[in-house]
Structure 1
Amino acid sequence: MTTRSLLACAAAVLGVALAAGPAPAQEKKTLTISMWGFNGDKLEAYLFKPFKEKHNVDIVLETGNAGDRLNKVKIRGGGVDLIYLSDVFAQVGLEDKLFEKIDSSRIPNLKDIYPAAQAPLGEGMGIAYTLGRYGIIYDSAKVNITSWADLWKPELKKRVSIPGFNTTAGPVTVLVAAARKNVDAYANPDGAFASLTELKPNIVKSYNTGSEMVNLFSTGEIVAAAAQDFTFPQVKAAVPTAKWADLSDGAFATFNTVSIVVGTKNKQLAEEFINFHLSPEVQKNLAVAGTDAPANMKVELTPEQAAPWTYGAGVISSLKRIDYAKLNKAKPDWQDRWNDVFGK
């Protein structure tokens, strides 16, 4: 056999050996998620770590308040796969066309989510993974609260707190004030803000974070506050006589949503993550750990486990819904009026 033939045979053998060798390892994917920074240890234990292990992926978190994170996505035009938002900011993201449509056929757990939470932004634009309430927390040792109007009681002068206007729930307080006067806040903002002017003597301070409000309770500066119910466990821990008010005129529904950011290169992985977050096991673990109320109807909690949460079909169906499209359009005018009332 000639040298040329030997080289050809060697090349052929080498080629076969290379072809039969192991395929190169698939590159590990990374899922980038924009969300709040609180409860990170619990989310890692019950949501992130199990998902990473199941799907062999890395998760990168971008944390901060909802407004800043949403603005970052809008300016940057990408770099995030999933974004978690409160409903008022989710509506802004929807109007700014920042969300990719979710393929609901890839979210089998969606069928078990409370109907009100399945598509609060419209079909496929975002799913509410938890539900909450905007109502009143009060110290039952010092006052009794049974309706929104009780916040205006003269005996509560300088003993009440409300959220600042630029918080998630702040503008909803305008709706509360309007209802007290039996007026439409959108058609008659003068009436709504006249009602807020009457509330002003009772406001010792507005708050911009839940921790600020908890501190006002713990120091005894306030005996009642308009608040979202996710803050109630912390208030209760600081003031054992604190109660969540059973309001005759009803609390407002609030949603925290998860949406897929337009332009993501990991859409199917993002959908798998959403489905995982909506699973009964994950939803229950997070509820019991004190992170979020479950949106999955299959989750069963004991009365003690359910106590802090907006939980059960009866409670959820009783809540008043907010038209965030209308509210967001009214906000610039309302903010000027709010500053006229409370900025002096």
Structure 2
Amino acid sequence: MRLVPTLLSLVAALAAGTNVVIAEEKTLVVSEWGYTPEQSNEFLYKPFEAICGCKVVIDTGNNADRLNKMRVRGGIDVMFITDAFTQQGIDAGVFAKIDRSKVPNLEEVYDIARAPQGEDYGPAYVAGHYGIMYDASKVKEPITSWKDLWRPEFKGFVAIPGFNTTTGPLTAVIAGERAGVDAFKDPDGAFKSLGELKDNVRKTYNTGSELVNLFSTGEVIVAAVQDFAAPAIHKAVPNAKWAPLSEGDYAIFNTLNIGKRANNPELAHQFINYKLSREVQEKFVAVGDSPVNRNVVLKPEQVGEMAYGADAISKLRKPDFKAILARKADWERRWNDVFGK
């Protein structure tokens, strides 16, 4: 047998009765949200195809739908997913263990991002954060605390994420802190505090685009929000400001994990390593991704609302998503009792 490199030689070989082996192009199936598709193709997928000699196929959707697809069908090599849903995937047993020896760029990643949910599972590729943004032209006194969401003058002008988003349950934790209780030990107290926020809440939103629209129309002037939405909010509302909160923002890590039923785990490791490289991390700053590779150096005007640098990242509060997930059913019922009426 021999490999036939061209179509003409293939036809000639077949005519002569020669046995032919055709090398199949490898395919890497990547599951992600579908945000910034043009930039992702330019910065990541096309360059990686050139490096690996493979074809990258993108499967898009929200966290929950994609995780369910991986659980039911398999066939996903690499998944981009937030840490709250990463924990669900770990508990469901749908992720393979990461071989860290095959991801040498981990040596360049901040410690907090290398294994946010244990050494067996994927690293974070972006260090996001959850805080408060507000329209400074419509808010007289600057916001400096999570407790400010409850200020009476914000009645009907606040947006918070829906319960089944990545950060929704964190709002219950924050409500507990505002009341001086631990939401995990005293959910009654935490959700009583959350109920006291209800009059201020215009909308519980489920997507970043939905929140941007609320800001742009003036329906909302204050919101609990992840930083990935900040550039679009700034564009819609030039006076929008990220609040420096005395209690600190919460870290939200987007992770990369390999499917347990992946068809190409070796390629998946190679892809994760490439995504963590200084070169790729630097490019994605253009779409608001905070780099976790400590060798990325940014100019002050590039930083914006990102948690950039060792000092900023070290100050982020890390949510206990495992504990949140264990209480999800009870908390969701309580949440619906507050906001479903």
Q: TM-score range by the shorter chain?
A: over 0.9
Aligned residue number for residue 128 of structure 2: 132
Note if contact 2:158-2:223 (Cα within 8 Å) is conserved in structure 1: yes
User: How far apart in 2 are the matches of 1:213 and 1:114?
Assistant: 31
Amino acid paired to 2:338: V
Alignment of 1:332 onto 2:329:
yes
User: How far apart in 2 are the matches of 1:48 and 1:192?
Assistant: 44
Aligned residue number for residue 32 of structure 1: 29
Q: TM-score, normalised by structure 1?
A: 0.91
Aligned residue number for residue 227 of structure 1: 225
SS class of match (1:176): helix
Note if contact 2:87-2:321 (Cα within 8 Å) is conserved in structure 1: yes
Question: What RMSD over aligned residues (CA atoms) do the two structures have, in Å?
Answer: 1.5
Instruction: Find the partner of 1:88 among 51, 75, 84.
Output: 84
Note if contact 1:86-1:256 (Cα within 8 Å) is conserved in structure 2: yes
Aligned residue number for residue 8 of structure 2: none
Instruction: Find the partner of 2:57 among 53, 56, 60.
Output: 60
- How far residue 198 of structure 1 moved from its aligned partner, in angstroms, is 0.8
Aligned residue number for residue 212 of structure 2: 214
Q: After superposition, where does 1:7-46 map in structure 2 within 5 Å?
A: 24-46=21-43
Note if contact 1:39-1:291 (Cα within 8 Å) is conserved in structure 2: no
Aligned residue number for residue 249 of structure 1: 247
User: How far apart in 1 are the matches of 2:23 and 2:270?
Assistant: 19
Aligned residues, how many? 323
Aligned residue number for residue 262 of structure 1: 260
User: How far apart in 2 are the matches of 1:233 and 1:263?
Assistant: 36
Note if contact 2:75-2:263 (Cα within 8 Å) is conserved in structure 1: no
User: How far apart in 2 are the matches of 1:172 and 1:159?
Assistant: 20
User: How far apart in 2 are the matches of 1:86 and 1:75?
Assistant: 19
User: How far apart in 2 are the matches of 1:230 and 1:147?
Assistant: 20
Aligned residue number for residue 322 of structure 1: 319
Q: Percent identity?
A: 51
Aligned residue number for residue 7 of structure 1: none
User: What does the per-residue CA deviation read over 1:163-203, in whole Å, with 9 as the maximum and x for residues that have no partner?
Assistant: 11111111110011000011010110000011011111111
Alignment of 1:105 onto 2:98:
no
User: How far apart in 2 are the matches of 1:23 and 1:285?
Assistant: 42
Aligned residue number for residue 276 of structure 1: 274
SS class of match (1:240): coil
Note if contact 2:32-2:79 (Cα within 8 Å) is conserved in structure 1: yes
Note if contact 1:174-1:193 (Cα within 8 Å) is conserved in structure 2: yes
- How far residue 110 of structure 1 moved from its aligned partner, in angstroms, is 0.3
User: How far apart in 2 are the matches of 1:22 and 1:58?
Assistant: 26
Q: Runs ≥4 in structure 1, deviation > 6 angstroms?
A: none
SS class of match (1:89): helix
Note if contact 2:231-2:288 (Cα within 8 Å) is conserved in structure 1: no
User: What does the per-residue CA deviation read over 1:5-52, in whole Å, with 9 as the maximum and x for residues that have no partner?
Assistant: xxxxxxxxxxxxx9xx99945321000011111111100001000000
- How far residue 265 of structure 1 moved from its aligned partner, in angstroms, is 2.9
Note if contact 1:34-1:80 (Cα within 8 Å) is conserved in structure 2: yes
Alignment of 1:47 onto 2:80:
no
User: How far apart in 1 are the matches of 2:62 and 2:171?
Assistant: 20
Structure number, greater radius of gyration? 1
Note if contact 2:288-2:306 (Cα within 8 Å) is conserved in structure 1: no
- How far residue 263 of structure 1 moved from its aligned partner, in angstroms, is 2.4
User: How far apart in 1 are the matches of 2:263 and 2:38?
Assistant: 27
- How far residue 125 of structure 1 moved from its aligned partner, in angstroms, is 0.9
Amino acid paired to 1:203: V
User: How far apart in 1 are the matches of 2:58 and 2:319?
Assistant: 29
- How far residue 124 of structure 1 moved from its aligned partner, in angstroms, is 3.0
Instruction: Find the partner of 1:180 among 178, 187, 200.
Output: 178
Instruction: Find the partner of 1:311 among 308, 311, 336.
Output: 308
Amino acid paired to 2:216: S
Amino acid paired to 1:313: A
SS class of match (1:161): strand
Q: Which runs of 5+ in 2 are unaligned?
A: 1-15
Q: Which runs of 5+ in 1 are unaligned?
A: 1-17
Amino acid paired to 1:101: K
SS class of match (2:30): strand
Aligned residue number for residue 115 of structure 2: 119
Note if contact 1:204-1:222 (Cα within 8 Å) is conserved in structure 2: yes
